Amino acid sequence: MGITGINITFLNLSSNTQRVMFFYNIMFKRSPIVVIRVPERQAGQQYAQVTSAVRSLADDYGLRVVVDGSPNSLPPELLTTNREAVLSVEPMSREMIESIPEFQGLIERLRKYKLDNAVWQVMGGCPAKYMDVQRLIANCPDDAIVDRVKSYLITVLAKAGQFIRKSSPNTKMIVKLFREKNVLQVSASELEKHGLIVDYPNKVFREVTRGDIYVEPATSAVGLIIRESIDSPQNNADLIKRLLVS
């Protein structure tokens, strides 16, 4: 009740919670895990009161808490308690993606029509995006697979280009810096030397921690748009053609 703010006079929610946890501990010999999903903060929006909620769940109820949050959604103090373990979900390598048993049929079809490289370059190491391609061609006749996948990849690139066009002036300056240096990763400290930081919400760049903090394209498609200086629908189509023959 203290966490949710719910006040129901005819129900003792605290007692019910304690009862559920008591029997859970008896059955599973460990405390329950609570997952808190924190959505991305919008411009000007304050941080959610996640830190106090996590502390109450852990200290008052003995629960284990997993906070699933976007890069800019978590208040800084949540990551400096000295009791947290921070796990970053990185994109998979191509080898890992193509070794997933559920994707074997998909990978075989893509390789048969020489689409595997283009799909990897555009979609990157995200299994969920491969699932989108899998659903796209699940019931597709063999003679239509190439055109369908090409059209889909062009659409993905177009959406990535739109993210860049609609981004803030600050983000466009970072894009310009990446193109001038011909790189797809820059340290946050180097950006600061140019008077730049990643502003949020941001669909173009993300910050990753690998020893130091680095800034890189948010998706493989955005990375292609930046690297290839794509600025028109025809350029999207031309890029897919090049990827299909490379």
Q: What is the pTM of this model?
A: 0.78
Judge if 67 and 129 occupy the same domain: no
Number of domains in the chain: 2
Give 178's contacts (C-beta < 8 A, 6+ positions apart): 184, 186, 217, 226
Q: What is the pLDDT of residues 160-183, one digit of tens each?
A: 999 999 999 999 999 999 999 999
Judge if 71 and 100 occupy the same domain: no
Q: What is the pLDDT of residue 118?
A: 97
Judge if 72 and 176 occupy the same domain: no
Question: Pick the residue with more confidence: 81 or 28?
Answer: 28
Phi, psi of 162 (to 5 degrees): -65, -40
Among 79, 104, 132, which residue terminates a domain? 79
**Which DSSP helix (H) or strand (E) runs through 36?**
strand 33-38
Q: What is the pLDDT of residue 26?
A: 85
Does the pLDDT at position 243 exceed 80? yes
**Which DSSP helix (H) or strand (E) runs through 214?**
strand 212-217
Give the separation between CA 127 and CA 229, rounded to whole angstroms.
Answer: 26
Query: Which residue has 């129901």 as its token pair?
Result: 8
Judge if 120 and 205 occupy the same domain: yes
Question: Pick the residue with more confidence: 80 or 246?
Answer: 80
Phi, psi of 34 (to 5 degrees): -105, 130
pLDDT over 90 for what percent of the chain? 59
Q: Is the peptide bond before 71 cis (omega within 30 degrees of 0)?
A: no
Q: What is the pLDDT of residue 178?
A: 98
Does the pLDDT at position 11 exceed 60? no
Judge if 32 and 114 occupy the same domain: no
Give the relative orientation of helices 233-245 and 116-123 as an angle to the nearest 10 degrees: 130
Q: What is the pLDDT of residues 209-242, one digit of tens each?
A: 888 889 999 999 999 999 999 988 889 999 999 9
Judge if 240 and 197 occupy the same domain: yes
In this structure, is residue 90 part of a structural domain? no
Q: Quick one: which of 26, 46, 48 has its CA closest to 37?
A: 48
In this structure, is residue 84 part of a structural domain? no
Q: Where are the alpha helices (DSSP H) in the chain?
A: 13-28, 50-61, 94-98, 104-112, 116-123, 127-136, 145-165, 169-181, 188-193, 220-227, 233-245
Judge if 73 and 181 occupy the same domain: no
Q: What is the pLDDT of residue 140?
A: 94
Give the separation between CA 91 and CA 75, rounded to whole angstroms.
Answer: 24
Judge if 129 and 33 occupy the same domain: no
In this structure, is residue 153 part of a structural domain? yes
Question: CB 23: neighbour CB atoms within 10 A?
Answer: 9
Residue type, 174: I
For residue 35, give its domain range. Answer: 13-79
In this structure, is residue 85 part of a structural domain? no
Judge if 129 and 192 occupy the same domain: yes
Q: What is the pLDDT of residue 20?
A: 79
Judge if 101 and 159 occupy the same domain: yes
Among 44, 79, 114, which residue terminates a domain? 79
